[in-house]
Amino acid sequence: MKELKLKRCRKCNALVKVLEDCNCKGCGIICCDEAMEEVKANSVDASFERHIPTYEKGGDNIHIKVDHVMEEDHYIEWILVKTEKENREIILKPKETPEMTVPYEKGALIYAYCNKHGLWKTVVE
Ligand SMILES: [Fe+2]
How far does the centroid of ligand 1 lie from the alpha carbon of residue 84, in Å?
Answer: 28
104 and 74 together in one domain: yes
How far does the centroid of ligand 1 lie from the alpha carbon of residue 26, in Å?
Answer: 33
55 and 114 together in one domain: yes
Calpha distance 56→73 (Å, rounded): 28
Q: What is the pTM assigned to this prediction?
A: 0.93
Q: Which residues pair with 22 in a beta bridge?
A: none
* Nearest alpha-carbon partner for 104 in 55, 54, 51: 55
* Nearest alpha-carbon partner for 8 in 39, 30, 29: 39
35 and 93 together in one domain: no
How far does the centroid of ligand 1 lie from the alpha carbon of residue 53, in Å?
Answer: 12
35 and 52 together in one domain: no
91 and 117 together in one domain: yes
Ordered per-residue pLDDT tens for the chain, 125 residues? 889 999 999 999 999 999 998 888 878 899 999 999 999 999 988 898 899 999 999 999 999 999 999 999 999 999 999 999 999 999 999 999 999 999 999 999 999 999 999 999 999 99
Radius of gyration for the chain, computed over Cα atoms and rounded to the nearest angstrom? 15
